[in-house]
Amino acid sequence: MAAAVGRICGARLLQKYGIVAPQICQLSTNAQAWTKSRKLWLTTLGVGAGGVGALLFALEQSVQASGTEAHPYHQPWSHNGWFQSLDHASIRRGYEVYKQVCKACHSLQYIAYRNLVNVSHTEEEAKAEAAEVMIKDGPDEEGNYFERPGKLSDYFPSPYPNENAARAANNGAYPPDLSLIVSGRKGGEDYIFALLTGYMEAPAGVILREGQNYNPYFPGGAISMAQVLFDEAAEYTDGTPATASQLAKDVATFLRWCSEPELDDRRLMTIKAIGIFSFLAAIVYYYKRHKWSTMKSRKLAYKAVSKK
């Protein structure tokens, strides 16, 4: 026991002393106990990591500035922030815009009709939406393929049977799938909104091929998709005025939801996790203070008995 205490406290109790002054056990893990070389190494590591981070940030900014396309403005979306949910009424209106305008060329191959349930539609409404499309299914018992009305488990069908048919119908351009378009484009929904509302006449010196249009937010400026959103280009069932900017805002919100259908659930789980872990952290801190209070306030003094 004396040897163990001596190793911990550095009191050297196993040596012979005449009269030993009280010795205090000091167990310290603060920065004062670090060696000079360790401090130098940690300082160098921190400075190096900060320099690399600053360099990467500067390179990213320079690459963005070197592009020829315009940078979209950041819009005040209602779902900005860690604890803000998506506007579900806007999601429903955005689905109506997609159904009436975008569906003619673009697919949503990773979104099923069941995903609309309790988000923008009731279960019965989602079933009715699915039943409006015909899904190729089969083979049947005779080996033939057939078409049937859609079900909730079906995914949104593509407007074209294959990529070649899509290119042939769009002057060689392939309309991208919109399921992950917001996550796949820098700027997200800001880019979608700016692209849909940013069509203009080509400036002097910009040559466009037949079938192309000018949009400063598209890389290169020349885009094969014509402007599709105008005032009253779609009709809302809730009576919202269908201006071009309103249509673009709603379809951008809808596509934001398509990219992350679990966004609201994830943010709700974040709020729950913060509350639970904050409560647990308070309990653990109190228990630690209670458990170590006697150890932290203890003062050990040892005095050897001199032989007479």
Query: Which tens digits make up the pLDDT trace of 115-150?
Result: 999 999 999 999 999 999 999 988 888 888 999 999
CB 86 within 8 A of CB 264: yes
Read off the pLDDT band of 307 (50, 70, 90): confident
Q: Which residues are annotated binding-site positions for heme c?
A: 102, 105-106, 225
Read off the pLDDT band of 81 (50, 70, 90): confident
Phi, psi torsion values for 161, nearest 5 degrees: -70, -25
Phi, psi torsion values for 237, nearest 5 degrees: -75, -20
Query: Which tens digits make up the pLDDT trace of 150-176?
Result: 999 999 999 999 999 999 999 899 999
What is the secondary structure of 180-212 as a DSSP string? THHHHSTTTHHHHHHHHH---PPPTT----TT-
Q: What is the predicted pLDDT for the residue at 243?
A: 96
Number of H helices, E strands in the chain: 9, 4
Rounded to whole angstroms, the Cα distance separating 244 from 92 reads 17
Dihedral (CA of 253, 254, 259, 260) sign: positive
Rounded to whole angstroms, the Cα distance separating 113 from 121 reads 10
DSSP bridge partners of 135: 148
Rounded to whole angstroms, the Cα distance separating 286 from 293 reads 10
- All domains of the chain, ordered by start, with CATH? 66-87+175-202+215-278 (1.10.760.10)
Q: Where are the alpha helices (DSSP H) in 101-236?
A: 123-131, 163-169, 181-184, 189-197
Q: Which residues are annotated binding-site positions?
A: 102, 105-106, 225
Cα–Cα separations (whole angstroms), residue 252 to 4, 5, 29, 192? 69, 69, 54, 6
Rounded to whole angstroms, the Cα distance separating 5 from 28 reads 16
Is the confidence at residue 2, as pLDDT, over 70?
A: no
Q: What is the predicted pLDDT for the residue at 61?
A: 64
Query: Which tens digits make up the pLDDT trace of 174-228?
Result: 999 999 999 999 999 999 999 999 999 998 888 898 889 999 999 889 999 999 9
Cα–Cα separations (whole angstroms), residue 139 to 109, 136, 143, 148, 264? 21, 9, 5, 12, 39
DSSP strand E in the chain: where? 134-137, 146-149, 213-214, 222-223
